Structure 1
Amino acid sequence: MRRLLAPPLGRSAKSRFFSFELPLDKYLPRQGLSLESLHEIHAATPEDLPAAFGFLVALTISLSSSEPVFVIGSAQSLASAGRLHGHGLNALGLDPGRVTLVEARNDKDAFWAIEETLRSGAAPVTLGLLAQNFDLKTSQRLSLAAREAKRPLLLLRPPGSGAASAAETRWRIASAPARRDTTGGILDLCWRVMLERCRNGSSGEWVLEWVNASHRFRLAATMARPALPDSAGAVGRYSA
């Protein structure tokens, strides 16, 4: 594990934010998602866990276009969320060659690997998958590691986990009907996205699509909430 974690050159000391360039930016601090914080993604139900994992991967693609990505989880959490598949990653827009998968024996080992990866600064984005709930102290350690590393940690949490957390944002993801072609094939993945908690921001709910052709998020034709001006803007703007 340690041999994989060589620190990169040229890390910026500036605080960075990612803009979806969608109405949901209005609900985030500085109208963007912090790239130096812990962000939690929860599945709305056990059946939504693969959909939440898909949203997590799509968000990762948005945050990092070409750099290495570390996916770290316990064997149980990876089995529950769905195994990574090269063809599926390519379809979403993530080159499997960029992905380093670390499968730990249990959540304790996965937690250690997540902390080590963040502290090394080797990965611009780290994805963590944990099968069990954990306490506030553990969440605070992960949040501190992300903040000190100036790297985002995207953490997939088990359905129903509502314990206190130090995460800057908490999202709850449910699957939504996807647009299909004339043969019934899925054109673009679709999610009901609920921003349940946002430090220095506010909550909201939207229906988002992942556009496979451009590898970007956009608002689905029918929004759940709130009643904001419709927009089909795309992701891609970073600010400091």
Structure 2
Amino acid sequence: MAAHLGGGVADVDDGGIGSARVPAEGPVLEPEVERGADDDRQVARADRAAAGLADEQVVPGGEAYAPGNAVVGGFIDRVEEYPRGSGDHAIARRGARGSKTAWQAMAAPDEDAGRRVVVVDLKTGKSEDRTNDDLVAGDAQLSAYQLAVAQGLVDGADPGALAGARLVVVSKTIGESPYRLAHQHTLGGEAREAFLHAVAEAARGMAASSFVAAVETHCQGQRMAPVCRIHTIGAVSS
């Protein structure tokens, strides 16, 4: 896993994120950053880890790029740290079927930890419809971010204080809140195993010597139809 903190590691003490206002209930972790030569994004370098294809377990940093491993990379918008007992943003959350009370407060592996660490992915698109916890429970992107923190790959983020990852949907409102929040709880147990299995399966498929053309599910949609014409248009000459 190439774990980067980037795409704007924001200081949200004043509650501002671009043109949206998302109150911060705790400080944002401030990693040591590098500024790219071609853009203004702040990118913090971290070690890398991977999932082994044989046992579907995490492979530590120095062995990540050995043969037989699936390396996952990405950028994290920001990492937040809250005092224990805060950071749930109740005003911005709904549970299943729109319930105001059916959501679960976040927790950390080390319940004695005085802080709670949360990975945040900002969503600005108006089409984003993942606006409650149930809809992000198995989200692979948030799971990858959590794995990076859990493996100690994000400087300054205590793995024992990891309380999950979340989408902050700034293009949607709810009640008096100018944003919505969908929280994925701390990755562990069967959920962690399922994520690592999915990573390994994807890597096996990408490394295969042949691929099955899924015409019905892939080639007939409006987006991919031009690319898939070799599968969907019959021969016009013998």
**Shared fold, TM over 0.5:** no
Indicate the structure with greater helix content: 1
Given the two structures, how large is their TM-score scaled by the length of structure 1? 0.25
Q: Which has the higher contact order (CA 8 A, sep 6+)?
A: 1
Given the two structures, how large is their TM-score scaled by the length of structure 2? 0.26
Higher Cα Rg: structure 1 or 2? 2
Indicate the structure with greater strand content: 1
